[in-house]
Structure 1
Amino acid sequence: MTAQIATLLAAPARADLQHATVAALRDAWGGGEIRWLADGIAAEFALATAPASRWEDWAALQSEGVDLVVQPAEGRRKRFLIADMDSTMIGQECIDELADMAGVGARVSDITARAMNGELDFEGALTERVGLLKGLPETVIAQVLAERITYTPGGRALLATMKANGGYAALVSGGFTAFTRAVGGHLGFDETRANTLLVADGHLTGEVARPILGREAKMAALTEISARLGIGHDQVIAVGDGANDLGMLGMAGTGVALHAKPAVAAQCEVRVNHGDLSALLYIQGYAAQDFVTE
């Protein structure tokens, strides 16, 4: 029997996690003393074992805007964060923003949605979408970064706190290096990996350099970086939202489906639908006062 920790999370913007809600679940499950990690946002309590009603109670709490995570208590604080970029560390899909600038936004965003939901082959879908960007001035990339990209709340605190506690962070994206370099630098990632858009005479050629980084490459990155750090996969926390993230989410000690596509979330044990990236700190046992902020 493995001791467990149950963590309840609300959206920080609302901070409406009720003490009564936490206490009612603790009492129903026979849990231990409640520890508040951030008032109105996150609380946890210990359990002897994961309850049989876990997913029924998870569904009920979802309707109240509350996330519920149940995981082994031992080893939940991780040493390596590996993260997806689009719709995870940032609020957009970069290729969709480029496509909108190129006048093919609706067509490309439909392909993106289907690919991220696992309905299309990732490599084929990426090749098709990049082909529609042929002729777009390279300068549009900087324009999109400046005018259209927003960062998911909690990202900088997540990186800074884990790194201050000896952690390492890698941004591994099926998107493009022109974006990961900027996003990774802004958030404080130690390294980034992504695909390279090919450019000629200042314009996109409509092609991407081979090999294409997708699901398998993300899994390989997790394995390679973990080995370099001298840690096991159990010391990794991974976060993503799309079908091409499922491999690394499954390999990591803690794989977090963050605001994920339904078909993706259904395959993950840790699902955060209401919280932001700070949820990854709370589920590791960090309290708000432990966060490193700049």
Structure 2
Amino acid sequence: MFIVSLIARPGSLDPSLVSSLRNAMGGGEAVWLAQGEAAEFPLDAAPANLEELRGAVADQADLNLVPVEGRRKKMLLADMDSTMIQQECIDELAEEAGVGDHVRDITARAMNGELDFEGALTERVALLRDLPETVIAKVLEDRISLMPGGRALVATMKAQGAYTVLVSGGFTAFTARVAELVGFDENRANTLLIDGGRLTGEVARPILGRAAKVQALEEITARLGITEADAIAVGDGANDLGMLGRAGLGVALHAKPSVQAECDLRVNHGDLTALLYLQGYAKGEFA
């Protein structure tokens, strides 16, 4: 059994679209998780023309197919940059260093899978050399904003007993603060090296990238006594693909095209609360 999930921007999901899709796919009775925003209906088997149907409604809603069994997950593993926050921290630091455009170009190519993540990170961090350590607090205060729906996602899953982890190829100086603001149980990231109150232009080894995110999934599920199938993971970049492919539910959130192409679950219209709708939570259940 599967659930066909339809998620749109608040107030824009047309009931006639839900009805027509349900009739065309031969689905069961539609249920609204949030009026005008999220609806779903059961389906006995996965449709062969899923991608065609997705494309037909792509400008109106996110159409996803979710297995019924084990739908509500016991762990959340989330990327930070452009996922739990709306920016890329290293790009914002680079703006302060006067090399913003150059670093943004490298970041975009790395997140799209065009560049080796570790090499791209090393190159970008080198351009931050001699920035005062105080710039980190300044960037956090002035340039970083949380992605809508993140607090509700984390709070709701924790209220249901789930464990939440922020895992990033970015930096601990940012993940520690974002984890605190959003309510994550744990965070993992790279460490910017500082000497004499200034950034050295280097990052501590080993560098946490794609493999480290998979390792976090393996280690933490084992520690909790659950399986990888019990986890939901969310990210937007190429270095997230490993954990997105291994988790029970792997969600590409407003992701790069190359990342979406490799993910079964894609969210382009909704915010982070879409991960709750995908698990079958109604808006009235949000913490």
TM range (shorter): over 0.9
Distance 2:256 2:207 in 1: 22
**Cα deviation, residue 63, structure 1:** 2.1
Q: Deviations over 1:241-283 (max 9, x none)?
A: 0000000000000000000000001000000011100000000
Write the distance in 1 (CA, Å) between the matches of 2:47 and 2:209: 36
Structure 1 segments of 4+ aligned residues over 4 angstroms from their partners: none
In the alignment, the residues of structure 2 paired with residue 40 and residue 74 of structure 1 have an alpha-carbon distance, to the nearest angstrom, of 26
Match of 2:216 in 1: 221
Task: Please name the residue that 2:48 is paired with.
Answer: 52
Partner SS for 1:82:
strand
Does 2:1 match 1:30? no
Distance 2:76 2:58 in 1: 26
Paired residues for 1:1-294 under 5 Å? 3-12=1-10, 15-64=11-60, 66-292=61-287
- TM value normalised by structure 2: 0.99
Equivalents in 2 of 1:291, 1:226: separation in Å?
Answer: 24
* TM-score normalised to structure 1 length: 0.97
* Structure 1 residue runs without a partner (length 5+): none
CA distance in 2, matches of 1:207, 1:11: 41
Q: Name the CA distance, whole Å, in 1 between partners of 2:204 and 2:48.
A: 48
Please tell me the residue identity of whatever aligns with 2:123.
Answer: E
Unaligned runs of 5+ in 2: none
Aligned AA (2:214): M
Name the CA distance, whole Å, in 2 between partners of 1:158 and 1:276: 10
Q: What is the CA-CA distance between 1:60 and the residue it aligns to? A: 1.2
- Residue 108 of structure 1 aligns to which amino acid in structure 2? V
Taking the aligned partners of 1:227 and 1:201, their CA distance within structure 2 comes to: 40
Q: Deviations over 1:147-201 (max 9, x none)?
A: 1111111100000000000100000000000000000000000000000000011
Aligned residues: 287
Q: Percent identity?
A: 67
Distance 2:259 2:265 in 1: 11
Q: Please state whether the residue corresponding to 1:130 is helix, strand or coil.
A: helix
RMSD of aligned alpha carbons: 0.5
User: CA offsets, 1:176-228, max 9 Å, x none?
Assistant: 00000000000000000000000011110000000000000000000000000
**What is the CA-CA distance between 1:120 and the residue it aligns to?**
0.3
